[in-house]
Amino acid sequence: MRTRSLLVTTAVLALALGAGTPAIAETTGVTAATVTVQGGVLGITVPTDAGSLGTADNAVLGGAISGPLGQVQVDDGRSAVAGSGWVASATSTAFAPPVGPAIPATAVGYTVGALTQVGTATYTANDPGNLTGVAPVVTATAITGDNSATWTPTITVSVPGGMAAGVYSATITHSVV
């Protein structure tokens, strides 16, 4: 009786632990997943400090000092509808010395130079002769989807004759709309 009881107990325990039946495993599994793509933005990146644009000796009739400002880039990740566009602009303060008269922004020119383009758009360099007010420097028209433009402008400062020797500083501000 004792053997029979032990055998029955062992069989019941084996069935309870799953030893007597083969395991059935799933061979496929499905997991739902999502991602969200948010609308992009229109932005501009400019150098924080161009350093010296150059040096020239004072001359009775004046002269010009030119130099690269550094890389400017507009990124348009708005997935713009066909035909839309943007305008990048620049403006300058006067180039002022520590003391004495400044070189006015009317004497500050901007040349875009070579444009590196990505995406579908028509890009136009405007090369304003002065940066007295907000002046368009690059326009993008006929845009379809995302796009970008990169350039390294040359700034030319027409220095009037008779200016005092010294370091003249200005702030050039870019914007894009």
Structure tokens at 130: 């002065």
Number of domains forming the structure of the chain: 1
> What is the identity of the amino acid at 89?
S
Range of the domain at 132: 37-176
Q: Is residue 59 part of a domain?
A: yes
Q: Is residue 19 part of a domain?
A: no
Q: Which of 118, 119, 124, 130 is nearest to 155 (CA)?
A: 130
Q: Is residue 72 part of a domain?
A: yes
Q: Is residue 86 part of a domain?
A: yes
Tens of pLDDT along the chain (177 residues)? 554 544 444 444 444 555 555 667 778 899 999 998 887 899 999 999 999 999 999 889 999 999 999 999 999 999 878 789 999 999 999 999 999 999 999 999 999 999 999 999 999 999 999 999 999 999 999 999 999 999 999 999 999 998 999 999 999 999 999
CATH number for the domain including 49? Answer: 2.60.40
Q: Which of 82, 90, 78, 81 is nearest to 148 (CA)?
A: 78
pTM of the model: 0.79
Q: Is residue 12 part of a domain?
A: no
